[in-house]
Structure formats: structure tokens, C-alpha cells
């Protein structure tokens, strides 16, 4: 087995979390010897952009929130400021499907917290009884005590069943990839709890603040709540790789190198394979920037005989158990391209959500060529369809033929495409994301407290990624920054 020299830091995982941590470490401590290993053939994780025939196709995230500064700040540090572009203001707005038709998302919902009552009273997405229940939100008493609550239960308690099923459930569940009745309010949207505690009501907060509280704020740089990169989101990961691997004392990046085990034995040791050959690493600190279940497998991979004598084994076991308890959901993304003249719908928005109550296979559709300028040639349209409502959804394993059949039905029924055309897109891409989105279920914050307690007993181990304290790109970058800071704090404490 090829044995590497001892590194100051080993970063496991070359997605935006690992790359961000490596970048921040190199910026703050350029003398450190850092190695980053990635299981896939290239770095980037879920940032996957494809350019073909004039289309720019995002298989993963296509935008990020501008009001959270960490992603924008990183883009500027990397020299990408001129590549930052807003979502297309000419087509601002989204839709929700109801009874086979599309209706605009009511104004005042852009911040996820309803900030205006009148649009909710005039929308055709809610029945008269549903609207009356929303109006009564002003008088619903605030919940006493600070105990956590399921997100879905919170929405129903404050605004009623229809608002939960037809509007807020699809909106919020899509962000965190889970059933809102299992998601933790405190871990996903603590601002909702804060609004209730401070004002007693969403509607009362809207009147008092004039904005509905903590909705999305516009970016001063772009004027848009959401932004992207001109060449696609993979531009960000590519820039990070270029920056950390050039100049003095570059980070060593090894791709196609899955790590099989990580354990503490005076120093951190990792076993991996690289192009079929075994490889071992030693490091004083290790940043694990993989999905939680992958981290659990690596940390729990030692044999029982070796583990009995290993330092910190009880803490390692505790960390592993907590990591295995974080559930994940899966998604399938089907992207299709058509001639613009063949899609008779105006596509005058960013796309639409499909509530589960509609009984449809598709849960959302993004009109990429309307949402972001330049994502398709001028005479073409680019559309993304999303599948996978629950982890046991059979469509996650559906064949390409079956998925395209569901897409064709949506195209015909909703977007006014002729059946013969809908069955024959000129471009098709299908990307499967198994166990890709962590769900912050009830008890998530308690789990994080236990994880923090256990990792403190394993000096040099730092966990980071979307599984912990935020799933969006800005929050993941923030956590990567914090991970780098934690490594440096530990090193300073060890070598005062």
C-alpha cells in the first residue's frame, strides 16, 4: 500500500463544502500541507453544468440566494464578480398547479412568509373556506413554550390545511427535500417561530414591519433575490479547483479516490483506493465534507479487533450513530429542449410547483430558458422536470421511457405542446440524485448537539456539509468557512 507523508489537513470530499474549506484554509494558513480527495472523477459535487448545442443545462442547483452573503463573497474572492447574473426580471414569478391548471403564486409569498393578505384573498388556489382560515391567522394564539414543532403542523395550526397543502407545503418541502410533517421547524425555518413569538401572527408581522418580517431581501449588487453564474454553477467549483491547485504550496487534489475508512490512531489515518490501487493517508486534522451516511461508513469501517484498542472509539461510535440517523431524500431531474414555436404556453415565469394533492408524478417544473437569460438558443426553450416526493417513490427507479412519458403528459396537459411533439424532445438529459438531499427532521438540533459533544472528544475531526446547519449553497459555504476556522482553532490550541 502506498503510504503518503503526514499532511496538516486531509479534506475528504470535493464538492462545494470540501473545496470551500480547502480554499479558506489556504487563504488563512498558506503554509499548511493540505490534500483533498474526491471519490468521483472530478470535483464539484452537485454543481454539474453541461453545455451542448447552445444549451446550458444544470443537473443540480441552478441559482443561489443573494441575501445570504457567503456565496456572493466567495464568487468575488475568486474573481467571478462579472459572471454573476440575476434571474430574469422580465419573467419574474412562479405558478402552482391546481386541478390541472396553472395559477400565479400569490404576491407577497416570495419571502416564504405571507406578507400580504389581499393576494391570498383573491387567488384561485384557495377555496373561500381556505381564504377565511388564512384571514383568521391574525387571531390564532401564539404557541407557548420553546419546544420544537413539525413544520407542517405549524403551517396548519397558523394558516389552515389548504394553505399547507396547496401553497406553503410544496414551497417549503421543496427546499428541504422532505415531508413537511416530519421536518423540524426550529432546524429549517426558525424565523417562523421567531415571528410568531415576537408578533403573535404572520399577518400582524406584515402590518407592523411592512414586509412580512424576514423575507428575501434584494441584493444590492444585482437587484435580484436569486443569482447564478453566466456559465453555470459548475463555474464556481472549477474556479475553486483552479485557485487551490496553483501558486505556492498548492493543495493536492486527488480525484477518483474513494475513502474506505478514517480512524484516529495518534494521528488521523485514512484508507482509500486510487485507480484500483490501495492508498493510505495520514493527517493531523481531517475535514469530512461528504454526505452524512458516507461519513458514517468511513468512520465506522474499522474492524472490531482494531477498534477495541483505538483511541476515542466510544466517541467515534457515537458520531457514527448520529450521522446514520440523518435521513436523505432522492431526486430525478429530467431536462428537455424544444423549438420555441412548439411550446404554445407563454412560459412567462420561472416555472411551477405541483402539490402532492394533485396526484401527479412530476413535483415541479423549471422553465430554465425563461428563468435565466442565455440558457437556450433564442429559438429554443429548456425545461427541467423534477421527480421524487418521498424516498420510497417508485419513480426514483423508473426507466427513461416511463419518466419521459410523465414529462410528455405535463407538456401536453399544462404547456400546450402537441402530443407528437411532446414525445420527441430534441434534447433529453436525465440525472439521478440518490440520497442527495438531507432532511432536517424533528430532533435534528438535538442530534447536532450530540454530534458536537462527541466530535469534541476526537481532536482534529471536523464535519461539514449540507447535512448539518443549512442546505443552500450560501449556507454550505458558510459552514465550510466555519470548518476551516475550527481546524485552525484546534491547531492553535494544540500549538500555542
Residue 120 in contact with residue 153, Cβ under 8 Å? Answer: no
Architecture of the 63-90+329-437 domain: Alpha-Beta Complex (3.90)
- How many whole angstroms separate alpha carbon 271 and alpha carbon 256? 14
Which of 309, 342, 336 is CA-nearest to residue 419? 342
Architecture of the 111-209 domain: Orthogonal Bundle (1.10)
Q: What angle do CA 171, 480, 222 make, to 5 degrees?
A: 55
* Strands 84-86, 277-288: pairing kind: unpaired
Assign 150 to helix, strand or coil: strand
pTM of the model: 0.93
- How many whole angstroms separate alpha carbon 364 and alpha carbon 394? 17
Which CATH superfamily is 2-45+234-327+440-494 part of? FAD/NAD(P)-binding domain (3.50.50.60)
Task: Going from the first residue of the chain to its last (496 residues), give the mean pLDDT of each consecutive group of 10, the final group possibly shorter.
Answer: 82 99 97 98 98 98 96 98 96 94 87 78 96 94 88 95 92 82 94 89 80 40 77 98 97 98 94 94 98 97 56 88 96 98 97 94 97 97 94 89 97 97 97 95 97 96 98 98 97 76
Which of 75, 43, 481 is CA-nearest to residue 255? 43
Q: What is 443-454 written as a DSSP string?
A: THHHHHHHHHHH
- How many whole angstroms separate alpha carbon 106 and alpha carbon 94? 9
Domain layout of the chain by residue ranges? 2-45+234-327+440-494, 63-90+329-437, 111-209
Confidence (pLDDT) at 454: 96
Residue 207 in contact with residue 104, Cβ under 8 Å? Answer: no
Amino acid at each position: 500500500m502506498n503510504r503518503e507523508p503526514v499532511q496538516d489537513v486531509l479534506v475528504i470530499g470535493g464538492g462545494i463544502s470540501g473545496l470551500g474549506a480547502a480554499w479558506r484554509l489556504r487563504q488563512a494558513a498558506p503554509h499548511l500541507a493540505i490534500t483533498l480527495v474526491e471519490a468521483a472523477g472530478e470535483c464539484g459535487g452537485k454543481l454539474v453544468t453541461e453545455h451542448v448545442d447552445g444549451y446550458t443545462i444544470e443537473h443540480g442547483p441552478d441559482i443561489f440566494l443573494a441575501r445570504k452573503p457567503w456565496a456572493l463573497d466567495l464568487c468575488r474572492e475568486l474573481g467571478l464578480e462579472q459572471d454573476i447574473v440575476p434571474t430574469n426580471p422580465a419573467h419574474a414569478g412562479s405558478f402552482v398547479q391546481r386541478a390541472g391548471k396553472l395559477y400565479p403564486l400569490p404576491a407577497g409569498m416570495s419571502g416564504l412568509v405571507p406578507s400580504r393578505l389581499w393576494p391570498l384573498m383573491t387567488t384561485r388556489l384557495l377555496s373561500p373556506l381556505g381564504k377565511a382560515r388564512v384571514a383568521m391567522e391574525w387571531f390564532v394564539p401564539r404557541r407557548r413554550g420553546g419546544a420544537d414543532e413539525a413544520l407542517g403542523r405549524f403551517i396548519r395550526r397558523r394558516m389552515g390545511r389548504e394553505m399547507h397543502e396547496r401553497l406553503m407545503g410544496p414551497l417549503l418541502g421543496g427546499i428541504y427535500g422532505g415531508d413537511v410533517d416530519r421536518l423540524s421547524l426550529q432546524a429549517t425555518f426558525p424565523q417562523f417561530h421567531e415571528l410568531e413569538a415576537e408578533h403573535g401572527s404572520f399577518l400582524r408581522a406584515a402590518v407592523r414591519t411592512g414586509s412580512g418580517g424576514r423575507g428575501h431581501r434584494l441584493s444590492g449588487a444585482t437587484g435580484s433575490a436569486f443569482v447564478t453564474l453566466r456559465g453555470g454553477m459548475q463555474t464556481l467549483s472549477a474556479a475553486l479547483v483552479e485557485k487551490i491547485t496553483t501558486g505556492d504550496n498548492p493543495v493536492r487534489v486527488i480525484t477518483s479516490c474513494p475513502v474506505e475508512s478514517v480512524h484516529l490512531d495518534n494521528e488521523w489515518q485514512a484508507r482509500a483506493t486510487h485507480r484500483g490501487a490501495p492508498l493510505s493517508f495520514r493527517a493531523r486534522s481531517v475535514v469530512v465534507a461528504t454526505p452524512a451516511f458516507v461519513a458514517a461508513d468511513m468512520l465506522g469501517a474499522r474492524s472490531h479487533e482494531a477498534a477495541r484498542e483505538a483511541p476515542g472509539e466510544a466517541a467515534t461510535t457515537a458520531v457514527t450513530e448520529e450521522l446514520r440517523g440523518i435521513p436523505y431524500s432522492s431526486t430525478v431531474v429530467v431536462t428537455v429542449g424544444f423549438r420555441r414555436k412548439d411550446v404554445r404556453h407563454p412560459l412567462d415565469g420561472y416555472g411551477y410547483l405541483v402539490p402532492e394533492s394533485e396526484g401527479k408524478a412530476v413535483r415541479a417544473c423549471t422553465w430554465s430558458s425563461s428563468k435565466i437569460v442565455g440558457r437556450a438558443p433564442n429559438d429554443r426553450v429548456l425545461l427541467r422536470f423534477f421527480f421524487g416526493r418521498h424516498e420510497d417513490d417508485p419513480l426514483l427507479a423508473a426507466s427513461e421511457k416511463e419518466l419521459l412519458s410523465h414529462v410528455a403528459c405535463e407538456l401536453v396537459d399544462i404547456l400546450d405542446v402537441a402530443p407528437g411533439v411532446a414525445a420527441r424532445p430534441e434534447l433529453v438529459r436525465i440525472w439521478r440524485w440518490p440520497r442527495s438531499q438531507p432532511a432536517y427532521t424533528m430532533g435534528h438540533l438535538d442530534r447536532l448537539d450530540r454530534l458536537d459533544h462527541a466530535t469534541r472528544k476526537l481532536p482534529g475531526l471536523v464535519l461539514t456539509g449540507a447535512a448539518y446547519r443549512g442546505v443552500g449553497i450560501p449556507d454550505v459555504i458558510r459552514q465550510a468557512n466555519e470548518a476551516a476556522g475550527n481546524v485552525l482553532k484546534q491547531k492553535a490550541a494544540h500549538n500555542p
